[in-house]
Amino acid sequence: MAENEGLRAMKIQKAMIRNCRAQEELPKAAIQFDAAFDRRSSKSATGMVGWNQNGDLLVLKTVVHNKVSSSFAAEAYACLESIKLGISLRMPSIKIMGTPKQSSKNVKRIH
C-alpha cells in the first residue's frame, strides 16, 4: 500500500514538472517586422516592433540597408535584424513574426 502511494506521488510530481516546463517555454516577448525595398536605389528599410506577453510595447527600431539586391534579400535582412534585436532584449524566449503578405509576394516573384 505504501509503495502505491509513493508511486502516485512520483507520478504527480512528474506531471507537475512537465506542466511547469511547458509554461516556461511560452514566448516572453514577440517581435514583428516588415521590410520595404527600393529597386532603383538598391536600399531597404526594416521596421521592427517588440511587445511583451502582456501586450506592452518594449521597443521600436528602424534600420536602413544599402546595396540590397532584391526584395528577398531585404526580407532576409529584416529577419536578421529582428533576431539581433531579440538577442539584445535578453529575454529567455522570443517569437519573431514577419509579414505573411510580404513573404507571399517574394515567393510569387521567384516562381
Amino acid, single-letter form, for residue 93: S
pLDDT digits (tens, 9 = 90+) for 47-67: 999 999 889 999 999 999 999
**pLDDT at residue 65 in the model:** 96
Amino acid, single-letter form, for residue 48: M
pLDDT digits (tens, 9 = 90+) for 13-36: 555 555 555 555 566 889 999 999
Parallel, antiparallel or unpaired: strands 29-38 and 94-97: parallel
DSSP state for residue 27 in the 8-state scheme: -
Domain boundaries in the chain?
29-110
C-alpha cell recorded at residue 3: 509503495
Confidence class of residue 91 from pLDDT cuts 50, 70 and 90?
confident
**pLDDT at residue 109 in the model:** 47
pLDDT beyond 90 at 69:
yes
**pLDDT at residue 84 in the model:** 94
C-alpha cell recorded at residue 19: 506542466
* DSSP for 11-69, written as a single string: HHHHHHHHHHHHHHTS-SEEEEEEEEEETTTTEEEEEEEEEETTS-EEEEEEEEESS--
pLDDT beyond 70 at 100:
no
Identify which of 29, 93, 22 has the alpha carbon closest to the alpha carbon of residue 57.
Answer: 29
Pick the CATH number of 29-110 from 1.10.510.10, 1.10.10.10, 3.30.420.10, 3.20.20.70: 3.30.420.10
Kindly report the average pLDDT of the chain as a whole number: 79
